[in-house]
Amino acid sequence: MAYADILRDSLAWPSDAVWTFNTAAMALTVVAILGRNRDVTGSTSHTTERFAEFFKKKIDDIRSATAGIPPPEVCSRAMSSLAAFQPFAEADVRRIIMSSPIKSCSLDPVPTFLLREFVDLLLPDVTRMVNASLEEGRLPISQRHAIVTPLLKKPGLDTADMSNYRPVSNLGFMSKVVERAVAIRLNDYLTRNSGGATLWQSSANALPVCSYALPVALPVF
């Protein structure tokens, strides 16, 4: 039955039946947007456990290969340091939310478009969560997760070879909001202080200075 026919027939339904239909349709739409009904298995026979072991081994191999490398030589040191992040006002957090891509993750309790639609109602709580994350130097436990999907690096590669896959992480929307807030504060700091990542300056020269200037607590992000 065509969608137009369903709408036409619904005009003759009782009000409670129309409400049930609309509620079910909205639920299916939300599930589709969040990707909770998607098939991520693809045509490969690899299991989740095998992918996890394979990617973990790659990380362990990189750590073993770089374990004996001495730290880079710091030729110059910054005279200032970033001891703490400045908190954000509600207007700043609202600007981050409204300028972010409208993407959702299955870990999100609500789709991003609903958060944006009711942003003024939720803004005080969202702002407190962002500022608490910046103050404590870590994300809430609920935001320390990601949906990792193995994808082929290029179309047509052999799906039986695990080395042809790369892990793609889909983070929750709020963790991305905090990430953008951290990026804004870091950019403000580097702009104000010489030796940072300024225009026409080599990143190779700026990185040792930045790594010395930033506090030890920041890598938790």
Which pLDDT does position 39 carry in this prediction? 47
Which pLDDT does position 130 carry in this prediction? 95
**21 and 90: one domain?**
no
Mean pLDDT, contiguous 10-residue spans, the chain (221 residues): 44 44 51 50 74 92 90 74 89 96 88 93 95 91 88 90 91 93 90 60 56 49 49
**6 and 108: one domain?**
no
**34 and 92: one domain?**
no
Which pLDDT does position 103 carry in this prediction? 86
**31 and 109: one domain?**
no
**20 and 103: one domain?**
no
Cα 213–Cα 214–Cα 216 angle in degrees, nearest 5: 125
Rounded CA separation 207/195 (Å): 9
Which residue range is the domain that position 6 belongs to? 1-38
Which pLDDT does position 53 carry in this prediction? 93
Query: What values do phi and psi take at 148, rounded to 5?
Result: -100, 120
- In sequence order, the β-bridge partners of residue 149 are 168
113-to-91, 97, 100, 170 alpha-carbon distances in Å = 18, 10, 11, 17
Which pLDDT does position 139 carry in this prediction? 87
**87 and 24: one domain?**
no
In the numeric block, the tokens 């910046």 are attached to 134
Which pLDDT does position 13 carry in this prediction? 44
**31 and 101: one domain?**
no
How many domains does the chain fold into? 2
**21 and 51: one domain?**
no
**19 and 111: one domain?**
no
Which pLDDT does position 172 carry in this prediction? 92
pTM for this model (two decimals): 0.63
* Residue 183: strand, helix, or coil: helix
Rounded CA separation 165/52 (Å): 12
Query: What DSSP element (H or E) covers 100?
Result: none
**204 and 119: one domain?**
yes
**3 and 54: one domain?**
no
